[in-house]
Amino acid sequence: MSTMKKVFIYLKRHMFFVVLSIAMALLSSLTALYVPVLLGDAIDCCKDLASGTQNSADSLGKLAAFIYKGMGTENYNPMSALVACLIGACLVVAITALLQWLMSLINNRITYEVTRDIRRDAFGKIQRLPLSYLDMHPTGEVVSRMISDVDTFADGLLLGFTQAFTGIVTIFGTIYYMWTLSHTTTIVVVCVTPLSLFVANFIAKKTHNLFILQSETRGEQTALIDEILGNEKIVKSFGYEDEALERFDEINGRLEKCSLNALFYSSLVNPSTRFVNATVYAIVALVGAFRVLGGHISVGSLSALLAYATQYTKPFNEISAVVTELQNAFACASRVFELMEEPDEQGVMVGQDESGQDAEKGEVMDTAMAGQSTVTGNVQVDKVDFSYVPDKPLIEDFSIDVKAGQMVAIVGPTGCGKTTLINLLMRFYDVLDGSIRIDGRDITELNRQAHRERFGMVLQETWIKNASVLDNIKIGRPNATREECVEAAKAAHAHSFIKRLPEGYDTILSEDGGELSAGQKQLLCISRVMLALPPILILDEATSSIDTRTELKIQAAFHTLMEGRTSFIVAHRLSTIMDADIIVVMKDGHIIEQGAHEELLAKKGFYFELFNAQFSH
């Protein structure tokens, strides 16, 4: 019920089409229910024709009587009445088919607009999720919720629209028509109905958890496939193919088992309800036959009753037939809504509150003030504690005071907390204790977007979007002119290779820049920073994929860029940070040494050991 309420919230946005679909379902069901009346009249006309009587002269349905009169026949003629009944039946069937076709079009529109809205909201949610959530959930599992689960939900929603409205109208319509023909038969049918509903409901509840497990296992399988395909070169390089197959077979086996269990138990619904419905049909036939023999109803009325008995039980059979899809759909929908209900990263979105007023106005002002002219670049890290996992401390009692314009180099062994410190400075994660202040203001008081606009960051990992080279550079400053982008590329020494591309700056790059080398992609990322000219720089192994000759040129460009700007450099090659104002040496989440290059060498401590390890050969 919780999931259904959330689905209805999305349906409200398309209420006009929902109402129109209900109207089409009502009309198509009513017209379909009128067919047995006409066919019953036709049977009675055949009886009159065979016996030479006129018993059906006054019992023709309204539509048949209207058509009969339109044929110009003054006295009752069984053959003319039969033709009128058949014409009326054909006309009603044609109208029913047209209405059902229109209803199908409307239902498809509702379904795919709802799934479009859900996917859009889910994708927007991903942009607001904290990195901690994405770190804890495999990418493939999140993708599975966005794609596979929403597709499955769409299939179930479409079936629900198609079957639910017409089924409800059909059930109540048949009860009405049966009541007009025989009160006794109708009461018997209605009394037997709850047994069918009880059986279907009992089995459906048992299968819901099985479909939840199936959906989760499918997400786990998607995550594994995404992991292996995304790291295919590593898999082949380390001969991991057999182990990958074993992992896939294990997950695939579990998916097979839970899928078969879910389908087996859910498939019990249909034969169980069909047995009950067949019993209903037999009761109608038996009771109706006795009433025909007693002269209470005609043979045509019995025929109509049997037709209505079939139509009455048909919705139950159809609903039970698609209960598997419906259970699977709601299980998948619950996983999507679970993602959408995760708490947002605080201080990301700036918009309006429920009263329509601007929310977080102070943070909006910070966004406007994030430019170089208002940020000097004083950074104070005061007694910071942080860990990714609660019971595994990483950074403890970390403090550093960086003055505006200083170049700070962060060195240390792998896993000591260098990149974690960058994550904290950028507020990809928030500190657990202590504070980080820029120009005297705690960064947790700022909107994250405003805060991050103060920084320009180049990482060892690059990101290239599916767009032109020019658009990829403009990520640094979207309103920049073409000339400014070219100057930034020249400063980053990327201009020469860009000119050699087929369309130069207008060359369209594929996702992740597959046409470019790792070094060229890194040069494009450096060009973005050259274009943005932020007040604070963060360089995390920014030249790791660039050849030595180009690296020297880039270092010179960086030195020019860093003049008057606070900069943090994470480096493993100590030759690139020897002229830093402050070198912070980290080990096991603590600062163990701090000072200038010559000062640290004179201490002959851990930095001295690192330096000699790199240059002793």
The pLDDT tens digits of the residues spanning 166-178 come to 777 788 888 887 8
Nearest 5°: phi and psi at 386? -160, 145
* pLDDT at 255 > cutoff 80: yes
- Specify the DSSP class assigned to residue 455: E
Element containing residue 379 per DSSP (H, E):
strand 379-386
Task: Report which of 158, 128, 139, 122 is spatially closest to residue 335, judged by C-alpha positions.
Answer: 122
Selected residue with higher pLDDT from 236 and 362: 236
Q: How far apart are CA 76 and CA 60, in angstroms?
A: 11
pLDDT digits (tens, 9 = 90+) for 397-443: 888 888 888 888 888 887 777 888 888 888 888 888 899 998 888 88
pLDDT at 161: 67
Cβ atoms of 594 and 583 closer than 8 Å: yes
pLDDT surpassing 70 at residue 365: no
Q: How far is CA 121 from the centre of its chain?
A: 8
**Nearest Cα to 324, choosing from 409, 261, 382?**
261
Mean pLDDT of 489-498: 88
Q: What is the pLDDT of residue 364?
A: 40
Q: What is the mean pLDDT of residues 135-146?
A: 82
Tell me the C-alpha distance between 39 and 50, whole Å: 17
Query: H/E element holding 191?
Result: helix 183-230
Span of 251-255, 345-349, 361-365, 568-572 with lowest mean pLDDT: 361-365
pLDDT average, residue stretch 132-144: 81
Buried b (16+ CB within 10 A) or exposed e, 230-266: eeeeebeeeeeeeebeeeeeebeeebeebbeebeebb
- From the list 474, 168, 457, 119, the residue with the least C-alpha distance to 315 is 168
Q: Which residues pair with 508 in a beta bridge?
A: 468
Residue 224's pLDDT band, with cuts at 50, 70 and 90, is confident
Distance CA 246, CA 249 (A): 5
- Closest-CA residue to 171 (of 311, 282, 22): 311
| pLDDT of 94 | 93
Structure tokens at 90: 């054909």
The mean of the pLDDT values for the chain is: 80
Q: What is the mean pLDDT of residues 561-586?
A: 82
Task: Return the structure tokens found at 474.
Answer: 């403009």
**And the tokens for 469?**
């080279």
In this predicted structure, what is the pLDDT of residue 404?
87
Number of continuous H segments (helices) and E segments (strands) in the chain: 23, 10
State whether residue 419 is helix, strand or coil: helix
pLDDT of residue 354: 34
C-alpha triplet 301, 307, 308: angle, nearest 5°:
90
3-state helix, strand, coil in the chain (%, to 5): 65, 10, 25
How does pLDDT run across 68-111, given as a tens digit for each residue?
777 766 666 778 888 888 888 899 999 999 998 998 898 888 88
Q: DSSP characters for 64-98?
A: HHHHHHHTT--S--HHHHHHHHHHHHHHHHHHHHH
* Residue 247 or 315, more confident: 247
- Encode pLDDT of 261-290 as tens digits: 888 877 777 777 777 778 777 878 888 788
Is-contact 504 469, C-beta < 8 A? yes
* pLDDT value of residue 317: 64
In this prediction, residue 18 carries a pLDDT of 85
Q: Is residue 230 scored above 80 in pLDDT?
A: no
118-132, 272-286, 361-375, 521-535: segment of lowest average pLDDT: 361-375
Per-residue pLDDT at 360: 41
Lowest mean pLDDT among 87-96, 297-306, 460-469, 498-507: 297-306
Lowest-confidence region among 54-68, 373-387, 530-544: 54-68
pLDDT (tens digit, 9 = 90+) per residue, 182-195? 787 788 777 777 77
Lowest pLDDT segment from 66-75, 285-294, 462-471: 66-75
Q: Delineate the domains of the chain, giving CATH numbers in brackets.
A: 2-340 (1.20.1560.10), 365-454+566-617 (3.40.50.300)
Q: Three-state SS string across 317-375, please?
A: HHHHHCHHHHHHHHHHHHHHHHHHCCCCCCCCCCCECCCCCECCHHHHHHHHCCCHHHC
Which residues on adjacent β-strands are paired with residue 379? 402, 438
pLDDT at 374: 67
Q: Which of 53-57, 96-100, 137-141, 604-608 has the lowest mean pLDDT?
A: 53-57
Residue 153 has pLDDT above 80, yes or no: yes
Taking only the tens place, the pLDDT of each residue in 238-253 is 888 888 899 999 999 9
CB 542 within 8 A of CB 459: yes
Name the strand (E) or helix (H) holding 161. Answer: helix 150-181
pLDDT at 505: 92
